[in-house]
Amino acid sequence: MSGETLQVYFLGTAGALPTPMRNPSCIMVRRGTDMLLFDCGEGAQQQMMRARCGFTVNAIFVTHWHADHFLGIFGLVQTLSFNGRTEPLTIYGPNWVHEFVENLKKITRFNLKFPLDSIELRDGSWVRFNGYTVTGFAVSHGLPALGYVLEEDPRPGRFDRDHAIELGVPPGPLFGRLQRGETILVVKDGVEREVQPYEVMGAPRPGRKIVYTGDTKPVIPILVEHGRDADLLIHDATYDESEIKRAAEFYHATASQAGQAAAAANARILALTHISSRYTDTAIHANEAKAAFSGTIIVPDDLFMLEITYGS
């Protein structure tokens, strides 16, 4: 169904090294009552406390097994167990997710009170939730690494109220039945006739779409394929253009390359993240991305929350 709130909390926006202002990678998406974590860097649970979002995590999606993307899982899992969680929690990720979860269970010395599961995802693997799907796509980071697309189901087309009335449908419950896809019977000028949903409903409209690259070199064709028309593209922007060689060497992207990707994929909003600890001022990131991308650009600080509205 449409109309659920969709919020993105940037809980950790640092590169591999945290700074006093930025925690390692963690992005929380709340959709309705669902809460998904994308990466869970060190200190994620305290960021969740600061964001006052509770701990009812439905799933954790890890992009890759560099420590700045998963160290927070240990503390979070212990806290969930202490808090008496009983519902299962699944950790999704690329190659080695099973080893990670097995090792976590082996080395922690607390009594885990809920089932902790692992599911390995590959390029194109998807996970279905109520009203949306999360799909993994392979990126380029020198080890198995996935980006993720969260895409809502299409929404029903617009209801043409005036036309419905013209056809003899009285305002009221019959409107709802048409909107739910039912054919109804009406009497107009003494003649009974059927009104079919397609007569009064426009074409289905796309749901909202969030794309998170995780750490990666520029992968524009892949983002055009998986991230086209994203409402929000969250892209690796570890470096500015002066460090383009270092970015290539360490399989990261520059802000400018993130801007090029956002333009190619026709994204609506670009969020630059995984900012290297060498930068205290990110104006340069925003300006470099702006040269390539004319949409909205943000360089979120930790705890920044973005509400994703419908683009159409």
Q: What is the CB-side half-sphere exposure of residue 289 using CA atoms within 13 A?
A: 31
Pairing between β-strand 191-195 and β-strand 184-188 as defined by DSSP bridges = antiparallel
Closest CB 280 distance from Zn ion, rounded Å: 19
68 binds Zn ion (CB under 5 A): yes
Q: Give 176's contacts (C-beta < 8 A, 6+ positions apart).
A: none
Residue 90 backbone phi and psi in degrees, to 5: -110, 135
Write the binding mask 187 to 226 for Zn ion: x where contact by CB under 5 A, - elsewhere: ----------------------------x-----------
Closest CB 249 distance from Zn ion, rounded Å: 13
22, 30, 66, 85: which one contacts Zn ion (CB under 5 A)?
A: 66
From the list 42-50, 67-75, 265-273, 290-298, the region that binds Zn ion by CB under 5 A is: 67-75
Pairing between β-strand 146-152 and β-strand 59-61 as defined by DSSP bridges = unpaired
Nearer to Zn ion, 215 or 288 (CB): 215
Closest CB 119 distance from Zn ion, rounded Å: 21
Q: In this structure, are residues 10 and 302 in contact, taking their beta carbons and an 8 Å threshold?
A: yes
Closest CB 91 distance from Zn ion, rounded Å: 17
Q: Which one, of 287, 274, 286, lies nearest residue 13 by Cα?
A: 274
Binding residues among 2-21 for Zn ion as defined by CB under 5 A: 16
C-alpha–C-alpha distance, residues 229 and 264, integer Å: 9
From the list 63-71, 74-82, 86-94, 105-113, the region that binds Zn ion by CB under 5 A is: 63-71
Nearer to Zn ion, 16 or 36 (CB): 16
Closest CB 248 distance from Zn ion, rounded Å: 14
Per the annotation, the verdict on 123 as an active-site residue is: no
From the list 65-73, 175-183, 203-211, 241-249, the region that binds Zn ion by CB under 5 A is: 65-73
235 binds Zn ion (CB under 5 A): no
Nearer to Zn ion, 6 or 211 (CB): 211
42 binds Zn ion (CB under 5 A): no
- Which token pair is 196? 């079919």
Catalytic residue among 68, 215, 236, 302: 68
Nearer to Zn ion, 16 or 134 (CB): 16
Q: In this structure, are residues 236 and 220 in contact, taking their beta carbons and an 8 Å threshold?
A: no
Nearer to Zn ion, 142 or 156 (CB): 142
Active site residues: 68
Residues that bind Zn ion (CB under 5 A): 16, 66, 68, 215
